[in-house]
Structure 1
Amino acid sequence: METSPRRRLHRLLPVPVPSAPLHDARTATVVGRWLGLTVGLCFATGLLSHVLQHPPHWLVDHLPSRPAWGYRLTQGLHVASGTAALPLLLAKLWTVYPKLFVWPPVRSARHALERISVAVLVASAVFELLSGLLNIVQWYPWPFPFVPVHFAVGWLLVGAVLLHIAVKWPQISDHWTRNAPGTRGLPAEDGPDRRSLLAGLGAAVGAVTLTTVGQSFTPLGKLDLLAPRHPGHGPQGLPVNRTARAAGITTVGPDWRLTVVGPRPYDLSLAALRALPQHEVHLPLACVEGWSVSARWTGVRVRDLLQHAGAHPHARVRVVSLERHGAYRVTEMGPTYAADPLTLLALRLNGQELSLDHGHPARLIAPNRPGVLQTKWVTRLEVL
């Protein structure tokens, strides 16, 4: 039997697919609420991390050195919340993706502005979380410096989130509670219900968190399956991000000396440094990539070295490494760190002489301080 032209044309045209119930405003609101909490926590802790790494000039003298575990906690939360946000972001995009490809793409000037704001929101969220994930594994497949760009896009993301909430607030408020219109009585043939989706999403977030957070929360270290660093793995029981070879330091000769520059400058050999009163502290080494491990450090208090050089009690200190290249070969400490009795020029780690990868012959260790600023292979202290 010959098919009529109308029937043939109907076969060629796309058949409209009914909108799945899980691609609705209620599901998007619930997932967005979870995502907003994780992104907010990630931004707040990331802001603290940036201030500790790159403090503005007016804040250097006021950065706190206590609690000693402060940076370990905030940076661990930063990486954990950013990692947890990844499956939440994917779920959020899945719930709203039909609206991302509506036709026509622009219906009015107001609609165009809304679409642009959504594009900025999606692009900044994807970039921020993926670049943070790649930073954890120390892979940088881009030509720009990570830290300033990641910091700037973080502010862009927060601005885009606030703008999105302001524009969508009427719809968000309408679907904030379970009694919102259209959230009950979903037919079985439409696929999994909202509770199943949210339970699966919660399980995914929990699995990602449990298999990565052990790199900073050491009681869960045995579950640390997906993180690039593992507590207790590395020279002398501590992970190493930048080895001596990567820093261009293959050996430290017997002529190494520590130079302390101040009103009364002086030099010390390694033997003379070991002969000074030694102190032992228990401090975490907390890295910006999210891993942290507590250890026993033994060495000379920095404040004693500075006092011998005639430094003012509230002086800043510049710390210089033997390393010739690298963004953190020269660092500075404010007076709160320099005067803290827990801040050491460490010579020993867990009862053993420092290995070359951990900064032999001497390295800095201070409380509540990012790992990149715990300078290794120290050769010079300058009173500022």
Structure 2
Amino acid sequence: MRPPTFAGQLHDARTATAVGRWLGAAFAVCFVTGLISHYLQHPPAWIADDLPTRPVWGYRLTQGLHVGTGLAAIVLLLAKLWTVYPRLYVWPPVRGFRHALERISVALLVASAVLQVFTGLLNIVQWYPWPFGFIQTHFALGWVVIGSILLHIAVKAPDIRAHWRLSSPATLALPAEDATDRRSLLLGIGAAVGAVTLTTVGQSFTPLKVTDVLGPRHPDHGPMGLPVNRTAAAAGVRPDRLRDWRLEVRGPTPYTLTLPELRALPRHTARLPIACVEGWSQEAQWSGVRVRDLLARAGAPPGAALRVTSLEVSGSYRVMEMGREYAEDPLTLLALELGGQVLSLDHGYPARIIAPNRPGVLQTKWVTLLEVL
């Protein structure tokens, strides 16, 4: 059986280069913002105490970019694969060392990129139909993708150089109708990227929340006007478990507070965004007790870090640690109220952490224990 042949004028190096520029930029943004997200969630010991708390909206911006650009990359990746898929059927399959290296780089790039963007898509809707851990795999694949892109660019450098500019000799030699068809294709791809972005970016860029029709979260939908990723029921926190709630603070001079005693402490208010790894975010007004004041009362030395434990029955973030910069920041609160009202159970009643420039999974709810480190 003979392999199929393709005569389409848009399956050429110029079209692949044009789409590849956009796709490469999207993956570059995803990679950089993904590193920021990963190291804010899982900081190595040598930077844990020095993670920046400013700007307070920093994580909201970078994670919104990460998810928004990742969704756009799905459209661009499909378009890129459409432009180059005829080359999968070239015969003979290998025509020398350089061609073999090119085929290997393409196979690695396609496999890792497809897996990366589609597992990322399922993550934002919190569906994990696979046996491996998403966070570790997504982080490792990010390095594989960026490495395979660099390898592919190195192998295809002559073709990319020849077709990078609109006025290059290789481009000027093409028929005029090819340029028109290509322009129409690129406009269509751009429109598709714009449509995907416009209908999802409102989950993090709230001025466009009215167009957020495809995003998995709407910034205004949820208890107390704020989305919730994990409810109290899902976390195993039932109202009967809170009847005798106490806040225990361990340090050189440990102490315990009842809820009335905690509420009687000096109150502070901060307007901070909560931003989740799935891409949604919303700014809100929080009121509570400064964490640094609670630590100081426990005799914490200057520069002490903090471990926070939740009433959750289980979960990867039931126990959370925050470094010195977060623990000492005057905007880091053990929040008791949201928008001037007592926290709902799903938002972490009776007390939760809220801190600037910090992933939502680390804004621990249902806090029961603070430990000076």
TM-score bracket, normalised by the shorter chain, equals over 0.9
Q: Which residues in structure 2 correspond to 1:232-251 (within 5 Å)?
A: 232-251=220-239
Q: Counterpart in 1 of 2:19?
A: 31
> Which of the residues 348, 356, 363 maps onto 1:367?
356
**Paired AA for residue 28 in structure 1:** A
Offset at residue 76 of structure 1 (A): 0.3
Residue 271 of structure 1 corresponds to which residue in structure 2? Answer: 260
| Aligned twin of 1:194 | 182
Whether contact under 8 Å (2:101, 2:155) holds in the other structure is no
SS at match of 1:245: helix
Asked whether the equivalents of residues 84 and 205 of structure 1 are also in contact (C-alpha less than 8 Å), the reply is: yes
| 1:285 pairs with 2:301 | no
SS of the equivalent of 2:108 reads helix
Deviation at 1:207, TM superposition (A): 0.5
> Quick check: 2:200–2:212 contact (8 Å CA) kept in 1?
yes
Aligned to 1:57: 45
Pairing 1:100–2:83 present: no
Number of residue equivalences? 371
Q: Match for 1:54: what amino acid?
A: H
Other-structure match for 2:290: 301
Pairwise CA RMSD: 1.6
Preserved CA contact (<8 Å) 2:335 2:352? yes
Question: Which residue of 2 is the match for residue 348 of structure 1?
Answer: 337
Counterpart of 2:286 in 1: which secondary structure? strand
- The residue type paired with residue 211 of structure 1 is T
Give a deviation string over 1:85-122, Cα, whole Å, max 9, x none. 11100010001111122122223344323211110000
Shift of 1:60: 0.5
Query: 1:156 maps to what in 2?
Result: 144
Q: 1:65 is paired with a residue of what secondary structure?
A: coil
The 2-side partners of 1:348 and 1:159 are apart by 46
CA deviation after TM superposition for structure 1 residue 14, in Å: 6.9
> Secondary structure of 1:318's match?
strand
1:174-185 correspondence runs (5 A): 174-180=162-168, 181-182=170-171
The equivalent of 1:6 in structure 2 is none
Q: State which structure, 1 or 2, has the greater radius of gyration over its C-alpha atoms.
A: 1
Cα distance between partner residues in 1 of 2:214 and 2:157:
37
Query: After superposition, what is the alpha-carbon deviation per residue over 1:153-181, rounded to whole angstroms, capped at 9, x for unaligned?
Result: 00000000001001111110000111232
Contact 1:186 1:193 in 2 (8 A): no
Asked if 2 retains the 8 angstrom alpha-carbon contact of 1:321 and 1:376, the reply is: yes
CA distance in 2: counterparts of 1:200 and 1:364, whole angstroms = 45
The gaps in structure 1 that reach 5 residues or longer are 1-12
**Which runs of structure 1 show a deviation greater than 6 angstroms over 4 or more consecutive aligned residues?**
13-16
The one-character-per-residue Cα deviations of 1:313-349 (angstroms, maximum 9, x if unpaired) are 2000000000120000000010100110100000001
Residue 118 of structure 1: which of 86, 103, 106 is its match? 106
1:88 aligns with 2:81: no
**SS of the residue 1:41 aligns to:** helix
Please say if residues 283 and 367 of structure 1, whose CA atoms lie closer than 8 Å, have aligned partners that are also in contact: yes
Q: Deviations over 1:176-224 (max 9, x none)?
A: 1112325566375x79701100111100000000100000000000000
Q: Is the 8 A contact 1:21 1:186 kept in 2?
A: no
Aligned counterparts of 1:63 and 1:379: Cα–Cα separation in 2? 25
Q: Which residue of 2 aligns with 1:143?
A: 131
1:47 equivalenced with 2:35 (yes/no): yes
Out of 140, 145, 154, which is 1:166 matched to? Answer: 154
Q: Distance in 2 between matches of 1:348 and 1:73?
A: 25
Q: Deviations over 1:281-313 (max 9, x none)?
A: 100010000000000101000000000000012
1:82 maps to amino acid: G
Question: Once the 2 structures are TM-superposed, how far is the Cα of residue 249 of structure 1 from its aligned partner?
Answer: 1.0
Q: Deviations over 1:45-87 (max 9, x none)?
A: 0000001000001110110111100000000000011011111
- Aligned AA for 1:266? Y
Mark the CA change 1:208 to 1:183 in structure 2 (over 3 Å): closer, same or farther.
farther
Q: Distance in 2 between matches of 1:314 and 1:15?
A: 67
Aligned partner of 2:8 in structure 1 is: 20
Is it true that 1:207 corresponds to 2:195 in the alignment?
yes
Residue in structure 2 matched with residue 8 of structure 1 by the alignment: none
- Residue in 1 that maps onto 2:326: 337
TM normalised by structure 2 equals: 0.96
| Cα distance in 2 between the residues matched to 1:282 and 1:182 | 53
Deviation at 1:18, TM superposition (A): 5.5
CA contact (8 A) 1:26 1:183 kept: no
Q: Determine if contact 2:98/2:155 at 8 Å carries over to the other structure.
A: no
- Contact kept, 8 Å, 2:26 with 2:72, in 1: the verdict is yes
- Alpha-carbon distance, 1:255 to partner: 1.0
Specify whether residues 284 and 171 from structure 1 end up closer, same or farther in structure 2 by C-alpha distance, changes over 3 A only.
same
Distance 1:168 1:15, change over 3 A: closer
Q: TM-score, normalised by structure 1?
A: 0.94
Structure 2 portions without partners, runs of 5+? none
